[in-house]
Structure 1
Amino acid sequence: MSAFDELFAQHAATAYARQLALADLIGDRDWQLDLNAGVATFGDDLRFPIQLLGTESHIDGSWLWAWANTGSNLPPQLLHLSEWLRAVGEERSVAELTEPGFPLSRADGARLALIASGLTDRCYYRGPYDGGAVFFHLGDLPAEIVAPVSPERAFLVVPQVIGVFELDHRLTLLSFLHQQGWSIADNTPSLVVGRHSSGSEMRVAFDDQNRMTRVSGQI
């Protein structure tokens, strides 16, 4: 497993859960980005400070980190997060966090933004435009957006993130349960059992190739 794949598996599920909570908050509001003010607005009532992550080009199928986008004269104060992630990549030898850009087939904006979310306890937004999309992180979100999810949502997040992304199933599950405050009651090659302080129990079965095959339990 590459350093990038390991980092992604460790943070994907909890970050994905936060994205679901953010989607509940934003709903179908329109979005606007003001780079001079360093804020994103959603509808008439939501306004958050931002940090730029990078952009996807759908013309050539590539990713470009915000810190490497020297041609756009981006405000330096909006690049702190992407520069910090670059330093994390250098420390942990994660090439995808240190190289200025690369094909989306290697790592797309969603995977990169989810890693950033997991490392920072933030949420990201993907803003589409003609020919691509800009990814940025939101600050000062309501506490409930980044708080551990309810057991009911935890049962939904695990199979959803496994279905959306290609990643290590066991590492993803164990990392998610730990980050969400569940205890691991059992961890065998064929079964992982997590218990929540509310009394909920999650039982996740694995096949002989370490792939998740069934999620069951009680709430």
Structure 2
Amino acid sequence: MSLLRLENYIFAQIENQFRLYEVLPEGFAWHIDMTEELLTFYDPATEKIALKCPFQLVGSKATAPQTFLWAWANTESNLPAAVLEHVRKLKSVAETEGKGEPFTSDQAFALPYDEFGMEMSVLCAGVGGGFCTYACGYDGGVLYTVVETVPQAKALPPDPLRTIRAITTGISAVSFDHKEAVRAYLGEPSADGVYAKAGIKVAFDEQGRIGEMSAVLEPPKRSASPLDSLKRLFGR
């Protein structure tokens, strides 16, 4: 099975992006330091730094000509090799799977469609094992990045509502196989469509598209009884 399938990564990447937002201040801004090879998020009102994250570059979109340039192909910028590891791996996987352009284009090319940069970021993060994608918008374009690690965000407890938001955001943004994406994200469900670890229930329509989702509350645990200890003691 191809590694270059959105289904493999998209929901997990979106959830992790939500996790990132949860540990950042409202109205945060970003700054990239190529010397330190860090993506910094900070509060523009106070200039207080919220996070410094190692990152990877995917590519850049130029708004006016509507073109895309892979970071590995941007030789004029003398980018550090360390921030190109994921995107070079993406290119290598594409070549191994026999895929050519646009994965191997070494010049700026016409943007195939609006979501192209986002989709390539998801694939790059998935193939490279990054935590989440982040699109750095600026006057004239967008710099697509992968945030490698965010321990504070990763440590947040699971939240069924966050999971549902991630799925809803994904299916409304781009096209892909819903069932395969949910399977990659949550594993196999019970017979009634419940994904126990995530605490949600997902129903699909006849075309395999997600029709309904809901959080599933765990039944309250029964208080322990003195008889329980006796039953366990005698194997009953």
TM range (shorter): 0.7 to 0.9
Secondary structure (helix, strand or coil) at the match of 2:120 reads: helix
User: Larger Cα Rg: Structure 1 or Structure 2?
Assistant: 2
Q: Work out which of the residue numbers 126, 130, 150 in structure 2 matches 1:118.
A: 126
Correspondences of 1:22-33 after superposition (within 5 Å): 22-27=20-25, 28-33=27-32
Aligned residue number for residue 65 of structure 1:
70
Cα distance change, pair 139–159 in 1 and its aligned pair in 2 (3 A) = closer
Cα offset, 1:97, TM superposition: 3.4
Contact 1:18 1:146 in 2 (8 A): no
Q: Which residue of 1 aligns with 2:186?
A: 177
Q: Secondary structure in 1 aligned to 2:12?
A: helix
Distance 1:146 1:108 in 2: 30
Task: Tell me: CA distance 1:147–1:167, structure 2 relative to 1, closer, same or farther (3 Å).
Answer: farther
Q: 1:170 to 1:65 in 2, by over 3 A?
A: same
More helix by share: 1
Please name the residue that 2:223 is paired with: none
User: In 2 relative to 1, CA 8–150 (structure 1 residues): closer, same or farther, beyond 3 Å?
Assistant: same
Contact 1:177 1:194 in 2 (8 A): no
- 1:52 aligned partner: 57
* Gaps in structure 1 of 5+ consecutive residues: 187-191
**Per-residue deviation, 1:147:** 7.3
TM-superposed CA distance for 1:69, in Å, is 0.8
Q: Aligned in 2, Cα 1:148/1:59: closer, same or farther, shift over 3 Å?
A: farther
Q: Percent identity?
A: 23
Q: Judging by fraction of residues, say which structure has more strand.
A: 1
Supply the distance in 2 between the matched residues of 1:7 and 1:111 (Cα, whole angstroms): 10
Structure 1 runs, 4 residues or longer, greater than 4 Å off: none
The number of aligned residues is 206
Which whole-Å deviations, capped at 9, do the CAs of 1:36-65 have from their partners, x for residues lacking one? 221121113221222211101112212211
- The aligned residue for residue 105 of structure 2 is 99
Residue 15 to residue 197, structure 1, CA distance change in 2 (3 Å): closer
Letter in 2 for 1:97: F
Q: Displacement of 1:217 after TM fit?
A: 5.3
CA deviations on 1:115-147 (whole Å, 9 max, x unpaired) are 222331422221112211111222341154387
Answer yes or no: is the 8 Å Cα contact 1:121–1:146 preserved in 2. Answer: no
Aligned equivalents of 2:57, 2:164: Cα separation in 1: 31
Shift of 1:175: 1.4
Deviation at 1:26, TM superposition (A): 2.4
